[in-house]
Amino acid sequence: MVEILFTGDDLALGAFAGMPPVQATARWRQPYRESSEVIQQSTKLYIYEVKGFIKDCRSIKIRGYLGNWPEPPYNYLFFLEPVKDDLRDWLSKQENLELTNEFSIDYGDWQQVVRRKHRVGRFVILPGFTESLGPCDLDDESLVYLYITPCLVFGSGLHPTTSGCLAAIDHLYSVDAPETATDIGTGTGILAIACAKCGTKNVVAYDINPLAVECAKDNVRRNKVNDTVTVKEGDGISNLERSELLCFNLDEKSFRRLIERIDLREFRWSIISGMLEKRFERIAHLLPSDLKIWWKQVNKGWITICVQGQE
């Protein structure tokens, strides 16, 4: 099995077999299919690794197609049923595309969905399908409810990098309330939604993965922050819009690219995560020397920091 590290909540394809089974009953409607069929934790996913550049993953008209997770130079195409022959036929009509691997896995083993409420500071994270039920602690107005459906992307709030970023947001908003925020590598949109629900008036969320973009848009709708959060497809770094707060939960390679192109001192606050502490220690020197680390957390070896830039 191929082992590839994804951005966002870093999990490996090669680690599928070691992930604990999940018994949750969460469901989600995938964005690319016209069918009203829903995916449950026991649903079998069929994943095909294709090497090459797919210009438009939405042009794939094969039964059971869910979407594409691009991890250049590979693509991971998700289906609800085995379609190897049909996929080979489609690939034969394309240029420079090659089927290099295939495997299947239960959705519950692919994505650990929150079964019951999960709390990080003021944030209570609930499965997206429960948003119609309303908050379960109506007498506690200090809590902020996040209804998150992970779909095929990461950011359910369970991974130490996501929970670390939420903890940083919780601490930051207790002393300051940024009016604008940018979230790079938004995944499910959980951090952008958290900022919006804490009072930020304008949040722009980026992700290069079309699956993540669709998932984040759906979660924005579920949390009723459509007027505040704008989700865009793109890396967010090339044409980064300045804001008071920058949220960045990606891998080391992406962090290096960010530092090369962006001066974090131009942001009043930056929340950075996505790396193991031992890896971050090797590249911490890339940060401007006069940048103040205002808050820091290490959870299961994963580090999250909140740095203060311009006053």
CATH number, domain with residue 156: 3.40.50.150
Residues 157 and 270 in one domain: yes
Is there a contact between 199 and 228 (Cβ–Cβ < 8 Å)? Answer: no
Domain assignment of residue 8, yes or no: no
Query: Dihedrals φ, ψ of 212, to 5°?
Result: -65, -40
137 & 242 share domain: yes
**One domain for residues 151 and 88:** no
Who has greater pLDDT, 237 or 28? 237
Residue 3 in any domain: the answer is no
Strand partners, 76: 49, 69
| Distance set, CA 216 to CA 146, 233, 239 (Å) | 12, 11, 20
Residues 236 and 91 in one domain: no
Mean pLDDT on 119-125: 92
Residues 47 and 134 both lie in one domain: no
- Cβ atoms 152, 32 nearer than 8 A: no
- Per mean pLDDT, which range of 176-180, 228-232, 257-261 is the poorest? 257-261
CA torsion 92-96-102-106 (nearest 10°) is: -100
**Residue that terminates a domain, selected from 110, 143, 174:** 110
In a domain, 211, yes or no: yes
Domain ends where: 76, 110, 144?
Answer: 110
3-state DSSP assignment of residue 165: helix
On the question of pLDDT at 223 being above 60, the answer is yes
Write the pLDDT tens digit of every residue in 291-303: 889 999 999 899 9
Distance CA 109, CA 107 (A): 5
Q: Which two tokens stand for residue 16?
A: 């599928």
Confidence of residue 228 (pLDDT cuts 50, 70, 90): very high
Is there a domain that residue 256 lies in? yes
CA 164 – CA 18 distance, rounded (Å): 23
Whether residue 126 is found in the same domain as residue 84: no
pLDDT at residue 139, as a whole number: 53
Q: Do 171 and 210 lie in a common domain?
A: yes
Q: How confident is the model at residue 54 (pLDDT cuts 50, 70, 90)?
A: confident
Judge if 301 and 182 occupy the same domain.
yes
Whether 241 is in a domain gets the answer: yes
Contact predicate 211/151, CB 8 Å: yes
175 domain residue, yes or no? yes
Quick one: 97 and 165 in the same domain? Answer: no
Count structural domains, the chain. 2
Say whether pTM exceeds 0.85. Answer: no
Percent of the chain past pLDDT 90, that is, above it, reads 44
Least confident window among 97-111, 144-158, 210-224: 144-158
Residue 101 and residue 191 share a domain: no
Nearest to 229 by CA among 194, 199, 203, 209: 203
User: For residue 113, what pLDDT band results from cuts at 50, 70 and 90?
Assistant: very low
Among the three residues 77, 110, 143, which one is the final residue of a domain in this structure?
110
Residues 102 and 122 in one domain: no
Residue 88 is predicted with a pLDDT of 95
pLDDT at 150: 67
pLDDT of 15: 28
Instruction: Please give the Cα distance from 200 to 107 (Å, whole number).
Output: 34
Same domain, 32 and 174: no
The answer to whether the beta carbons of residues 274 and 185 sit under 8 Å apart is: yes
> Are 67 and 152 a contacting pair, CB within 8 Å?
yes
Residue in 150, 175, 178, 179 with CA at minimum distance from that of residue 162: 150
Residue 30: domain span: 13-110
Q: Is pLDDT above 60 for 17?
A: no
Average pLDDT over residues 117-122: 87
β-strand partners of 105: 45
> E strands within the chain?
44-51, 65-71, 74-79, 98-106, 118-120, 123-127, 144-148, 180-184, 202-207, 229-233, 245-249, 269-276, 292-299, 302-308
Helices 190-197 + 210-222 axis angle, to 10: 30
DSSP string, 211-244: HHHHHHHHHHHHTT-TTTEEEEES-SSTTPPP-S
Residue 174 has pLDDT above 90, yes or no: yes
33 occurs within a structural domain: yes
Task: Answer yes or no: is pLDDT of 98 > 80.
Answer: yes
Contact status, residue 179 vs residue 157, Cβ threshold 8 Å:
no
Asked whether residue 275 is domain-assigned, the answer is: yes
